[in-house]
Amino acid sequence: MKKQKVVILGSEQQNKHDLDAIHKLQEGLSKVDQFPVYTPDLQWFEKMVLTEKQNSRKKFIKELSLFLMIAFFILSGIIVSFYQMPIVFILIQIITPVFIALYTITRVSKKVKMNE
């Protein structure tokens, strides 16, 4: 019974120290809120929005054309190999899923390591 009381008191004290630390953090962070931040004028924001929209449109067109080109090369390669070299076609069919599986596994494990 005595032992239990000591544990409860300890955890209460721990919570109090946690709250003290949180309070000090909040105090420090609220000082950052008092910092003056220079806000550009409305025109600057409008210009930024326009530039960003133009950039994303350019990026979209560039990516789409790249995608179509790569797709065209891959598809023509597969069609040619299917009619001219069936062995190469079968090899591609085996290698592709194996590569995708390996790539996914390494990417996921890398992400897990980064989050640890």
Partner 1 sequence: MDPLIKSAKEGDHLAFACIFKENYPFLVKYLIKITMNPDIAEELAQDTMAKCIQKIHLYNGQSKFSTWLIAIATNAYIDHCRKQKRENKWKGQEEVYRKLKWHFESRNEEWNDALEALGKLPVNVRVPIVLKHYYGYSYDEIGTWMKISPGTVKSRVHNGILAVRRELKLGEETEGRHTRQRTTK
Q: Tell me the DSSP string of 24-42.
A: HHHHHHHHHHTS------H
**Angle, CA of 92, 93 and 94, to the nearest 5°:** 90
3-state secondary structure of 51: helix
Backbone angles phi, psi at 77, to 5 degrees: -60, -45
Restricting to residues 32-61, which ones interact with partner 1 according to CB under 8 A?
A: 32-33, 35, 37, 39-43, 45-46, 48-50, 52-53, 56
Under the binding rule (CB under 8 A), the answer on residue 114 touching partner 1 is: yes
Under the binding rule (CB under 8 A), the answer on residue 107 touching partner 1 is: no
What is the distance between the alpha carbons of residues 66 and 72, in angstroms, rounded to a whole number? Answer: 10
Restricting to residues 5-24, which ones interact with partner 1 according to CB under 8 A?
A: 6, 10, 13-14, 16-18, 20-22, 24
Nearer to partner 1, 40 or 97 (CB): 40
The site for partner 1 (CB under 8 A) is made up of 6, 10, 13-14, 16-18, 20-22, 24-29, 31-33, 35, 37, 39-43, 45-46, 48-50, 52-53, 56, 114-115
